[in-house]
């Protein structure tokens, strides 16, 4: 896929970047405020990296350089910040790990950002970082600003790319066990960048997700977690592994950008999720939140997660919701149990048993339940029978499913058809 983007004309690249950037600006200008503002929404845009200048073909591992950047930031001095007399934040540092593609060197560079500029960003649509003098003479600025998952470019240095950043969060935004002490806590994260969108990083994301899901399934099997649909089966036997993986990719792919994109653009958007996972691994999406209150890689809301904890005590899920969503292994277990629970729910609730006998509980039914709950799936199957989904996918009249869920099912079918895993 990467080679397809590189072969696009300069104009088409700019169009892709402009559309993505416009959406990022819209979300930040009109998105939800409050607690979740501290969290990344993972609205990814292409970095301007690679559109100008001469860049040598790298002879190093991007994954190794990302890991090195993370290590540098984790062991560097804590971020500095300034407060007023009442303890309110005035300005703070951001630390960047920067990779020089030509030399393979990774170094740290710091900048300052004012809280008033962050607060006014939604209104003004622009923000500027003030670089510190220490380190190489470069200027890192945001294409658009979104906290620790901002899209950065380095002015007049196309051979350089941000591979990680260290960002200051209010400690209250994190579970107690994740706080470093004091009013603020440093976190390290790898924001998406076009400069990191390589086959190697994509494959690392795929490898990590495959291994993660495999290990979660093995633990559920070791614990002997039975299906609620059939006590003769383990929960893992009724939930395909690729269903879980595909849902993760879908949950973190922006639906509006996906719907507007052509084939290459759609693949690019899906690959970005794997880039973020490949770069961050255990950190990926741990602090991601939605306006509906869903969080983490699995994008569960609190009541749904707590229901899984209650219904499947033998699965040994982490009791604390936020910690449970930040822990990838635990979150995958919760996803498997969610799907098993909804196989049971749908089988018991659908009146058209002939349809259940003919189709079983399909992946589309489970995907729709994941997005909008099982009630509309049940209504759809009872009313439309075998055509429960096809009659709604391209309907111009009112449908049982909300437009969001119809788009979600289409996206699921597309991702499954690609065979990402």
DSSP run (H or E) holding 108: strand 106-114
Q: Over the stretch 340-363, which tens digit does the pLDDT of each residue have? A: 999 999 999 999 999 999 989 999
Predicted TM-score of the model (pTM): 0.85
Its sign, for the CA torsion 41, 44, 47, 50, is positive
What pLDDT, on the 0 to 100 scale, is given for residue 211?
Answer: 98
What pLDDT, on the 0 to 100 scale, is given for residue 46?
Answer: 41
Q: Over the stretch 68-82, which tens digit does the pLDDT of each residue have? A: 999 999 999 999 999
What pLDDT, on the 0 to 100 scale, is given for residue 55?
Answer: 58
Q: Over the stretch 159-198, which tens digit does the pLDDT of each residue have? A: 999 999 999 999 988 988 899 888 899 999 999 988 999 9
Of the pLDDT bands very low, low, confident and very high (cuts 50, 70, 90), residue 32 is: very low
Q: Per-residue b/e over 348-380, b at no fewer than 16 CB within 10 Å?
A: eebebeebbeebebebbbbbbbbbbebebbbeb
Q: Over the stretch 316-331, which tens digit does the pLDDT of each residue have? A: 999 999 999 999 999 9
CATH of domain 200-418: 1.10.530.10
Q: Identify the residue whose tokens are 């470019």.
A: 153
Tell whether the model's pLDDT for residue 65 goes beyond 50.
Answer: yes
CB 91 within 8 A of CB 113: yes
Tell whether the model's pLDDT for residue 299 goes beyond 70.
Answer: yes
What pLDDT, on the 0 to 100 scale, is given for residue 208?
Answer: 98
What pLDDT, on the 0 to 100 scale, is given for residue 58?
Answer: 78
Task: Report domain extents, the chain.
Answer: 53-194, 200-418
Q: What is the mean pLDDT of the chain?
A: 87
Q: Per-residue b/e over 293-312, b at no fewer than 16 CB within 10 Å?
A: ebbbbbbbeeebbeebbeeb
Mean of the pLDDT values across residues 87-104?
95
């Amino acid at each position: 896929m990467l080679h397809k983007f590189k072969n696009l004309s300069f104009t088409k690249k700019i169009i892709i970047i402009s559309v993505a950037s416009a959406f990022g600006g819209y979300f930040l200008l009109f998105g939800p405020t409050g607690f979740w503002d501290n969290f990344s929404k993972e609205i990814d845009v292409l970095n301007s990296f690679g559109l100008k200048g001469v860049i040598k073909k790298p002879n190093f591992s991007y994954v190794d350089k990302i890991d090195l950047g993370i290590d540098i930031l984790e062991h560097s001095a804590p971020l500095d910040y300034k407060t007023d007399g009442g303890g309110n934040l005035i300005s703070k540092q951001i630390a960047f790990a920067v990779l020089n593609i030509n030399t393979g060197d990774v170094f740290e560079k710091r900048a300052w950002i004012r809280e008033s500029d962050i607060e006014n960003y939604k209104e003004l649509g622009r923000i500027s970082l003030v670089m510190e003098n220490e380190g190489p003479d470069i200027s890192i600025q945001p294409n658009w600003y979104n906290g620790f998952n901002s899209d950065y470019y380095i002015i007049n240095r196309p051979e350089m790319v941000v591979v990680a950043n260290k960002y200051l969060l209010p400690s209250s935004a994190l579970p107690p066990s994740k706080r470093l002490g004091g009013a603020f806590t440093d976190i390290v994260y790898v924001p998406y960048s076009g400069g990191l969108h390589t086959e190697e990083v994509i494959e690392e994301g795929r490898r990590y997700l495959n291994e993660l899901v495999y290990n979660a399934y093995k633990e559920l099997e070791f614990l002997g977690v039975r299906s609620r649909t059939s006590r003769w089966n383990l929960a893992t036997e009724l939930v395909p592994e690729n269903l879980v993986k595909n849902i993760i990719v879908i949950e973190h792919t922006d639906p509006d950008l996906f719907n507007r994109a052509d084939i290459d653009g759609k693949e690019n958007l899906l690959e970005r999720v794997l880039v973020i996972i490949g770069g961050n691994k255990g950190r990926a999406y741990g602090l991601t939140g939605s306006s509906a209150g869903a969080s983490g890689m699995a994008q569960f809301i609190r009541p749904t997660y707590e229901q899984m904890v209650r219904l499947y005590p033998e699965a040994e899920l982490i009791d604390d919701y936020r910690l449970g969503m930040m822990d990838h292994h635990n979150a995958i277990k919760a996803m498997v149990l969610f799907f098993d629970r909804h196989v049971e729910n749908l089988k018991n609730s659908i009146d058209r048993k002939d349809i259940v006998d003919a189709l079983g509980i399909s992946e589309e039914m489970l995907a729709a339940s994941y997005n909008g709950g099982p009630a509309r799936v049940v209504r759809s199957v009872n009313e439309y029978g075998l055509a429960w989904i096809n009659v709604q996918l391209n309907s111009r009249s009112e449908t049982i499913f909300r437009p969001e869920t119809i788009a979600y099912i289409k996206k699921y079918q597309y991702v499954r058809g690609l065979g990402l895993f």
